[in-house]
Chain A
Amino acid sequence: MDVSLSEFGAIAIMQGFNGLSVFCVLLLMALGLAIIFGQMGVINMAHGEFLTVGAYTTYVISSLTLQYFPAMQPYYFFFAIIAAFVIAGALGWLVESLMISKLYHRPLDTLLATWGLSLVMQQAFRSIFGAREVGAEMPAWIMGSWAPSEAIDIPRNGLFVMGLTLLCTVTIFLMLYRSRWGLQVRATMQNRVMSRAVGINTKKVDRMTFALGCGVAGVAGAAFTTIGSTGPTAGSLYIVDTFLTVVFGGAASLVGTIASAFSIAQAQSLMEFFLSGSMAKVLTLSAVILILMVRPQGLFSSKVRK
């Protein structure tokens, strides 16, 4: 191998960045689930479909802008992100009130019912948008790459996703741990009966929490369009990874979710450098499961006295 040290350094930086962008996508997807599954304990198998809703929303808005307001094209993406959040969140609000709210005392049945929902949603995407994958037209400033030195080449869409992830994480952290609403959410999840007794409308809190989680999934979907194209089953491909991320981090711990998304993503992209992609994935997931067997409560777990 006649690779000079500087070239090796450049490869290491780019590979590390690669891992970071995998981490951001994973974290962005896991954030919504960390709220819904981690805080509420609802296993939403249709979470991936909410992601797809966000991605398709971006696609629709990008086509609309291109057709009616071509001048707005460079800026449409910000509107798309907001629209993705609102639409996915509204859909989540609807799903919670029609379905999830009736199943809170049967967690395993929630899992099955939401899986049915995910089938219906996938078919709906297929009927509306066709089975072929579609891609949103990206504004020019997202595409291309940033080259701080000659050997290093960092894609701009990766940087954008990273910024978005940071923004979402900070917002959610502030909402959950620094706002009155977050206090109500955490109280409801810890002791529903007691929270109701002190005057918290737990039904409303549940609905809002679920809607927020779905909205975040929608934002993840919008971010997803900058990286890949969208098909009807795009979201469901990631559902296992995201669940494992949340479980591995320790449910009910936002820091845990971040740490586990980071370690899973870095391990995977590091191993992908040496092994084939499928083997890297197998090894990463197996390692996660093995660690979970030793430490079933996840990396970070809040101490609960039972």
Chain B
Amino acid sequence: MKNAYESLLGGKQGAIGLLVLAVLILVVFPLALDSFRLSMVGKYLTYAFVAVGLVLCWGYGGILSLGQGIFFGLGGYCMAMFLKLEASDPESTKIQSTPGIPDFMDWNQITELPMMWQPFHSFSFTLLAVLAVPTLLALVIGIAMFKRRVGDVYFSIVTQAIAAILTILIIGQQGLTGGVNGITDLRTLNGWDIRDDSSKLILYFVNAALLIGCVLLGRFVLTSKLGRLLMAMRDKEERVRFSGYDVASFKIFVFCLAAAFSAIGGAMFALQVGFMSPSFVGIVPSIEMVIFAAVGGRMSLLGAVYGTLLVSFGKTYFSESFPELWLYLMGGLFIVVVMYFPNGLAGLWESHGRKWLSRFALGNKVFGQSVVKARVMSPVKVATPQPSRELETTP
């Protein structure tokens, strides 16, 4: 019991942090926001899955993937394909020249449901595919890149290129994927209408619970020996390798885990928002998700959730009110965070917020402890300049 408390919740401080987040998204938001704003928060929380995954693989593992949108998108598309098939039963599509197939296929003169779509009639297959397809892709990419000891910068560029390829492919194959509009007009899940307010509320809670589950799982991984190895690898990869660990396998694992988290987020996105389109797959959304994690704090699972909420709120607010300013703000925020606050909000909280809070509430006793804790977590490499090491792979 004690063990589970330590590893899942991360001790007292971790438990309090998690509790605050859980109360915020499970109680405060549903009570305080109207259904429109709440579904917006629900949408943002689906991005938080990706950010949490990025904390694992980027913050701790040192693997910056610029293609998390791939996995978010694949998860979302798997779910959307199932929902679309359900929405296009022969009865409701009888005005088409071929009833029973999704409307965009009909517009593209396709007369028969393609092979790729067939298995998505089954809900259990879809659930499996949501997790398996992105994770397997991550496994393939991971094996190909990490077993060959591709450097981290190269990895970022290749993942970005894969995101670009996937977007072009989805947009190009209009008959199969709905093209640039994506898969729209999703209505029911096994006969249950997902569009009315009550079902949206239920989906919001499912989403929030899954997110907290992912955070817990992330905590579990990070507090285990694997988490320590990840950090060791990030800071001195060669030394870990020489100690006899198979560095590539750990990297592959954490990359796959992050991909699976993103896929869950994507599937929940399709369920909550009711469509899926290539604009959530490509380079720009992928980097935006990195921003979420960077602003929230690349070393903090909870910080990533707050970062996602904050940046997304900011984006919605500013792009509604001052569309001109938004990109300046977003770009500027990103430059400032990366250059001056590499640990994001969570880092600021560790260094200032907690100090302030403990002085406020508990006196100066706890204060010394938290500083020590912050130092143990010390995230950003203060590496000595190593000019071209990052660029070369071991011959």
* CB neighbours of B389 from chain A (8 A): 306
State whether B150 touches A41 (Cβ < 8 A).
no
Question: Who on chain B is nearest to A107 by CB?
Answer: B390
Q: How far is the CA of A51 from the CA of B202 in the complex (A)?
A: 49
Interface string of A89-112 (1 = CB under 8 A from B): 000000000010011111111011
Q: Is B385 an interface residue (CB 8 A)?
A: yes
A120 with B332: CB separation less than 8 A? yes
Chain B hits for A193, CB < 8 A:
385
Tell whether, in the assembled complex, residue B161 and residue A244 are in contact, meaning their CB atoms are under 8 Å apart: yes
Minimum CB distance partner of A112 in chain B: B338
A285 to B333, CA, bound (A): 32
The answer to whether B381 touches A106 (Cβ under 8 A) is: yes
- Quick check: is B136 within 8 A (CB to CB) of the other chain? no
Chain B residue with Cβ nearest A283: B165
For residue B389, which residue of chain A has the nearest CB?
A: A306
A121 to chain B, nearest CB (A): 8
B314-368 with Cβ < 8 A to chain A: 324, 326-328, 330-335, 338-339, 342
Residues on the B chain within 8 Å of A296, using CB:
145, 148-151, 154, 393
Task: Give A282 Cβ to nearest chain B Cβ, in Å.
Answer: 5
Residue of B nearest to A110 (CB): B338
List B contacts of A278 (CB < 8 A): 168-169, 171-172
Q: Mark B145-163, 1 if CB is under 8 A from A, else 0.
A: 1001111111011101110
Whether B394 is near chain A, meaning CB under 8 Å from some CB there, is yes
Chain A, interface size category, equals: 35 or more
Evaluate contact between B153 and A106: CB separation under 8 angstroms.
no
Asked if B387 and A192 make an inter-chain contact with CB atoms under 8 angstroms apart, the answer reads yes
Decide: B149 and A189 in contact? CB cutoff 8 A: no
- CB-contacts of A266-283 with B (<8 A): 276, 278-279, 281-282
Residues of B within 8 Å of A244, CB to CB, are 157, 161
| B393: A residues at CB distance < 8 A | 296-297
- Bound together, the chains give a CA A179 to CA B81 distance in angstroms of 59
| Distance between Cα atoms of A52 and B383 in the complex (Å) | 34
A243 to B153, CA, bound (A): 11
Contact B339 A289 (CB under 8 A): no
B92 part of interface (Cβ distance < 8 Å): no
Chain A residues with CB below 8 A from B160, complex form: 240, 243
In the complex, A124 Cα to B158 Cα: how many Å? 29
| B391 at interface by CB-CB < 8 Å | yes
A115 within 8 A of B: yes
In angstroms, Cα B144 to Cα A289, docked, is 10
**CB contact list, A250-306 vs B, under 8 A:** 251-252, 276, 278-279, 281-282, 285-286, 288-289, 292-293, 296-297, 301, 303-304, 306
Query: In the complex, what residues of B have CB within 8 A of residue A251's CB?
Result: 391
Q: Does B243 contact A (CB under 8 A)?
A: no
Bound-state Cα–Cα, A292 to B324, Å: 40
Majority secondary structure of chain B interface residues (helix, strand, loop or mixed) = helix
Q: Do the beta carbons of A119 and B327 come within 8 Å of each other?
A: yes
Contact B331 A41, beta carbon cutoff 8 Å: no
Q: Specify which of A41, A243, A289, A306 is in contact with B162 (CB 8 Å cutoff).
A: A289
Is A201 an interface position by the 8 A CB rule?
no
Contact A122–B327 (Cβ < 8 Å): yes
- List chain B residues, Cβ under 8 A from A127: 324
Q: Confirm or deny: A28 has a beta carbon within 8 angstroms of a beta carbon on chain B.
A: no
Q: Which residues of B contact A247 (CB under 8 A)?
A: 154, 157-158
Given contacts A41-B388, A103-B339, A109-B342, contact A119 B334 (CB under 8 A): yes
Give the interface centre of A112, A189, A279 by most chain B CB atoms within 10 Å: A112
- Cβ of B270 under 8 Å from chain A: no
Q: Is A191 an interface residue (CB 8 A)?
A: yes
User: Would you call A123 and B172 a contact (CB within 8 A)?
Assistant: no
CB distance from A194 to the nearest CB of B (A): 10
B392 at the interface (CB under 8 A from A): yes
Judge if B164 is at the interface, Cβ distance under 8 Å: yes
A226 to B328, CA, bound (A): 30
A105 touches B332 (CB 8 A): no
Q: Which residues of A contact B172 (CB under 8 A)?
A: 276, 278-279, 282
Residues of A near B334 (CB, < 8 A) are 112-113, 115-116, 119
Decide: B165 and A43 in contact? CB cutoff 8 A.
Answer: no
A305 CB to nearest chain B CB (Å): 8
Question: What B residues does A306 contact at CB under 8 A?
Answer: 389, 392, 394-395
Q: How far is the CA of A110 from the CA of B175 in the complex (A)?
A: 40
Q: What chain A residues lie within 8 Å of B66 (beta carbons)?
A: 111
Given A119-B328, A120-B327, A303-B395, 7 additional A-B pairs, CB 8 A: A107-B153, A111-B156, A120-B332, A123-B324, A240-B283, A278-B168, A288-B161
Where the two chains meet, the residues of B that have a C-beta atom closer than 8 Å to any C-beta of A are 64, 66, 144-145, 148-154, 156-158, 160-162, 164-165, 168-169, 171-172, 283, 287, 290-291, 294, 324, 326-328, 330-335, 338-339, 342, 380-395
Subset of 17 A-B contacts with CB under 8 Å: A41-B390, A105-B384, A106-B342, A106-B380, A107-B153, A111-B64, A119-B327, A120-B332, A123-B327, A189-B387, A192-B385, A243-B161, A278-B168, A282-B168, A285-B165, A289-B158, A306-B392
Listed in ascending order, the chain A residues whose CB lies under 8 Å from chain B are 41, 43, 99, 102-109, 111-113, 115-124, 126-127, 188-193, 240, 243-244, 247, 251-252, 276, 278-279, 281-282, 285-286, 288-289, 292-293, 296-297, 301, 303-304, 306
